[in-house]
Chain A
Amino acid sequence: RKEVEQDPGPFNVPEGATVAFNCTYSNSASQSFFWYRQDCRKEPKLLMSVYSSGNEDGRFTAQLNRASQYISLLIRDSKLSDSATYLCAVIRIRSGGSYIPTFGRGTSLIVHP
């Protein structure tokens, strides 16, 4: 089983729709969580961190469920410009103290007019 799993999609939604992505992780020692956005042939850019209590940034809401080991990203009122691949990143500390980031393969979102 992969350490971080995401449904690759694509999710094809109309403008204005609400869409949600999930990301599951297998290592219960994971400690920090992020959502990144990656446009085609570009580097990932941080969208938001994910906090235990859940957090919101404009149209984007991120939540963490430690018991079930998944994080989610909700996008409300989708815009054409939201079309991209959304990667979740899970951070754990390996024995020895090194910080290990692991990414999911990403979920592709296509927002159409």
Chain B
Amino acid sequence: GAVVSQHPSWVICKSGTSVKIECRSLDFQATTMFWYRQFPKQSLMLMATSNEGSKATYEQGVEKDKFLINHASLTLSTLTVTSAHPEDSSFYICSARADKVNLNTEAFFGQGTRLTVV
């Protein structure tokens, strides 16, 4: 299957600092990338959808000024958690799709980033 690389796989940061997470599609052009957050024993919660070259669409309850998403190219999207707080500690996962039309095209996931804010 296609490869999506997410970096870093884990990060520990101090409260109040910002953390950038990268999501790259290595062997296909991702027209759409999704960012999720997953708390222990909970479902993947969609945070936002980003399309290359346009602004991200944030889900209800997700602060766009706190979770900055940039999708500058067809192979790279970044999520920046600004002014991180301990409650932002979670598992953040991106996924990418190549096809805007076919609903049955799967999305491939990155390896996830485990963020711990201390």
CB within 8 Å of A: which of B78-118?
91, 93, 95, 97, 100, 103-104, 106-112, 114
CB within 8 Å of A: which of B31-50?
32, 34, 36, 41-44, 46, 49
A46-B1 in contact given A4-B43, A93-B103, A102-B46 (Cβ < 8 Å): yes
| Interface membership of chain B positions 35-73, coded 1 if the CB is closer than 8 angstroms to chain A and 0 otherwise | 010000111101001000000010000000000000000
Q: Which residues of B contact A87 (CB under 8 A)?
A: 43-44
* Chain A interface bracket (under 10, 10 to 19, 20 to 34, 35 or more): 20 to 34
Q: Are A34 and B106 in contact (CB under 8 A)?
A: yes
Interface core residue of A31, A32, A44 (most chain B CB under 10 Å): A44
A91-B111 in contact given A4-B43, A43-B93, A104-B43 (Cβ < 8 Å): no
B32 nearest CB neighbor, chain A only: A99
Q: Which residues of B contact A93 (CB under 8 A)?
A: 103
* Chain B interface bracket (under 10, 10 to 19, 20 to 34, 35 or more): 20 to 34
Bound CA–CA A42/B109 (angstroms): 10
Bound CA–CA A98/B59 (angstroms): 12
CB within 8 Å of A: which of B1-55?
1, 6, 32, 34, 36, 41-44, 46, 49
Q: Are A101 and B107 in contact (CB under 8 A)?
A: yes
